[in-house]
Structure 1
Amino acid sequence: MRTEDLIKALDADVRSKAMPLRSAWWMAAAAAAVIAAVVFFFTIGPRPDIMIAMHTVRFLAKFVFTLMLATTAFGLIRALSTPGASTARAAAWMLAAPLLVAVAVALELFMVPEPMWSTRMVGSNMMICMGFIPLIGIGPLAIFLWMLRYGAPTRPVLAGAVAGLLAGGLAATFYAAHCFDDSPLFVATWYTLAIAILAGLGALGGRFFVRW
């Protein structure tokens, strides 16, 4: 069987599912958000001064970064789970979150004296960040990997890694409501490393569990 015929057969199989793949992904995203919320609120919860923090640009900027990552990863993973679908535009949008963080870091370096750079980067909650973003994101990651099996990705390792980025963006959005470190330097360093853990786990999951 030619590759083109195989892709068409996989696409037909995906379309013949009891629930359309597009609807299934939205339901999976909703379920993942509920699971992440439950873990978040039953473990660390929001910071006590969140109502005050919400009036600061640096606090709100964290949600712009994390939601942008989750939104673009959601678009890409939906494309990757559909055989034959174009992924170029969705993949290009994945650059948006890193670019926003890079701009924020550049502004921070310009506005903050150099002796304070390392203090802002290290922060006061780096170990909590590294532990709780993966903890909040592991349930959503499992859901997204299961959804990849519902679809038929032709690049399961890449799809699994994107599932990890999606879970990481979702988890980081919840964690940002708890985090007292609002510096873009902190976000660029520790949020990225924590999300990378989930991306690595997702790639492994794609390698061993997402097969067709």
Structure 2
Amino acid sequence: MAAALLFLLYILPGGANAAALASRLSMPLFWAKLALPLSMSIAAVCVAARLSRPGVRVGHAWTALAAPAALVWVAALAVLAFSPAGARRAMMLGHTWRSCSLHIAFLSMPALVALQLAMRGLAPTRPALSGAAAGVLAGSIGALAYCLRCPEMAVPFWAIWYLVGMSLPALAGVLIGPRALRW
């Protein structure tokens, strides 16, 4: 998380605007937006930890990982259903749809590297799946950091672009896992 915050502050163009962040802190939707990657990161820690050790079943941790994504999709669909047709596109695209997912993926890279190295020492028996779990955790960490910068407050926006941004490191983990997590 520390590396993601440093990347956010010093590498991403525009950094983080302290005044804008301070104004968003009073918005309940900001805290809901923060809850999505936070809850996914907590669940992803459980999944990744279980997949990292031979013979440990993941069990209901999969449900805990899928639940936040499912809840945000249900909320997004409800918001879209009760919104005027002309406003739906703006809710889904916002102003930053072109960069949001890429920024989340970029902010997740230090965590993905660190998690892959840590998991390698724990002897996962399903490297592709373990890599995916590490990627989801890294993506959640990247999204958590990106929440501090993102001006978008529409639930449909997070349901699409935050989840895409978290999925990119998961895909990278699937592709890298079989080689990086081999023991």
Give the shorter-chain TM-score range: over 0.9
Q: Please, which of 30, 34, 41 is the counterpart of residue 2 of structure 2?
A: 34
Question: Residues 74-118 of structure 1: CA distance to partner in whole angstroms, max 9, x if unpaired?
Answer: 110000001111211212211221122023213312442122111
Q: Please, which of 59, 66, 69 is the counterpart of residue 88 of structure 1?
A: 59
- For residues 72 and 203 of structure 1, the distance between their equivalents in structure 2, rounded to whole angstroms, comes to 18
Question: Residues 123-148 of structure 1: CA distance to partner in whole angstroms, max 9, x if unpaired?
Answer: 10112212211111001000000111
- Matched with 1:191 is 162
Q: Please, which of 131, 136, 140 is the counterpart of residue 107 of structure 2?
A: 136
Superposition RMSD in Å: 1.4
- For residues 164 and 158 of structure 1, the distance between their equivalents in structure 2, rounded to whole angstroms, comes to 10
- Secondary structure of 2:60's counterpart equals helix
Q: CA deviation at 1:47?
A: 5.6
Q: Is 1:68–1:96's contact at 8 Å kept on the other side of the alignment?
A: no
Matches within 5 A, 1:61-140: 61-140=32-111
Runs of 5+ in structure 1 lacking a partner? 1-32
- For residues 180 and 116 of structure 1, the distance between their equivalents in structure 2, rounded to whole angstroms, comes to 17
- Secondary structure of 1:180's counterpart equals coil
Structure 1 outlier segments of 4+, above 3 Å: none
Matches within 5 A, 1:168-179: 168-179=139-150
Identity %: 28
Q: What amino acid is aligned across from residue 185 of structure 1 in structure 2?
A: P
Runs of 5+ in structure 2 lacking a partner? none
Question: Residues 167-200 of structure 1: CA distance to partner in whole angstroms, max 9, x if unpaired?
Answer: 0001001101111111111111111111111111
Q: What amino acid is aligned across from residue 149 of structure 1 in structure 2?
A: R
- For residues 77 and 28 of structure 2, the distance between their equivalents in structure 1, rounded to whole angstroms, comes to 15
- Matched with 1:204 is 175
Q: Is 1:65–1:100's contact at 8 Å kept on the other side of the alignment?
A: no
Q: What amino acid is aligned across from residue 38 of structure 1 in structure 2?
A: L
- Larger Rg, first or second structure (1 or 2): 1
- For residues 151 and 140 of structure 1, the distance between their equivalents in structure 2, rounded to whole angstroms, comes to 17
Q: What amino acid is aligned across from residue 87 of structure 1 in structure 2?
A: V
Q: What amino acid is aligned across from residue 52 of structure 1 in structure 2?
A: S
- For residues 55 and 161 of structure 1, the distance between their equivalents in structure 2, rounded to whole angstroms, comes to 35
- Secondary structure of 1:48's counterpart equals helix
- Further displaced range: 95-104 or 184-193: 95-104
- Normalising by structure 2, we get a TM-score of 0.92
Q: What amino acid is aligned across from residue 41 of structure 1 in structure 2?
A: L
CA separation of 1:161/1:46 partners in 2, compared to 1, >3 Å: closer, same or farther?
farther
Q: Size of the alignment, in residue pairs?
A: 180
Q: Is 1:47–1:179's contact at 8 Å kept on the other side of the alignment?
A: no
